[in-house]
């Protein structure tokens, strides 16, 4: 008589809130995180395709899941970054170790989001801005793009949020 075939036991499924690649699952993302993701995609279209903000905005609002995003924060990021692009680049460029043209459009857009939030969103702690931007770069950017974004934003935070950074470092 043949012996029964033993199947290996599956390890119990864990619910970490992360996908297999380490990215937060969609259900676990805040409305602001979603707004940043949609803004990043829209800013990418602007940087690569030179599309106008209004046409990008109309397209993005029709994407699946947009209704779960903080649309006011998305509007502020998209329109604010495009409007203030020169100032944002002026803040970022001195901190780069290469020309802006050598930075990928994804990392460029993430740096815009970080610089914009540092300057215009005082309700978002600077450490949250940095962390959210690192997560964006991990999810959408190149292999080590998040490390570059982290390095630049850690230099930019004391310039744009001096009092907050100083208070945080004195703890």
Confidence bin at 169 (pLDDT 50/70/90): confident
Predicted pLDDT at 111: 98
Q: Which two tokens stand for residue 122?
A: 């005082």
Q: pLDDT tens digit string along 83-142?
A: 999 999 999 999 999 999 999 999 999 999 999 999 999 999 999 999 999 999 999 998
Q: Percent of the chain scored above 90 by pLDDT?
A: 72
Predicted pLDDT at 21: 47
pTM of the model: 0.82
Calpha distance 67→168 (Å, rounded): 35
Quick one: which of 105, 119, 102 has its CA closest to 49? Answer: 105
Q: For residue 75, what are the CA distances in angstroms to 66, 80, 123? A: 12, 8, 16
Calpha distance 109→85 (Å, rounded): 10
Q: pLDDT tens digit string along 9-63?
A: 555 545 555 555 455 555 578 999 999 999 999 999 999 999 888 999 999 988 9
Domains and CATH numbers, the chain: 28-169 (1.10.940.10)
Confidence bin at 170 (pLDDT 50/70/90): confident
């Amino acid at each position: 008589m043949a012996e029964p075939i033993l199947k290996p036991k599956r390890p119990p499924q864990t619910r970490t809130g992360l996908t297999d690649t380490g990215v937060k699952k969609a259900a676990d993302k805040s409305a602001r995180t979603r707004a940043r993701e949609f803004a990043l995609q829209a800013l990418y279209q602007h940087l690569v395709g030179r599309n106008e903000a209004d046409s990008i905005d109309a397209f993005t609002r029709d994407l699946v899941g947009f209704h779960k995003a903080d649309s006011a924060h998305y509007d502020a990021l998209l329109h604010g970054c495009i409007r203030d692009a020169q100032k944002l680049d002026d803040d970022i460029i001195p901190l780069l170790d290469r020309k802006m043209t050598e930075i990928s459009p994804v990392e460029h857009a993430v740096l815009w989001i970080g610089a914009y939030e540092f300057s215009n969103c005082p309700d978002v702690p600077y450490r949250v801005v940095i962390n959210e931007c690192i997560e964006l770069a991990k999810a959408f950017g190149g292999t080590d793009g998040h490390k570059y974004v982290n390095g630049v934003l850690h230099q930019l935070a004391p310039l744009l949020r001096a009092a907050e950074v100083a208070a945080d470092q004195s703890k």
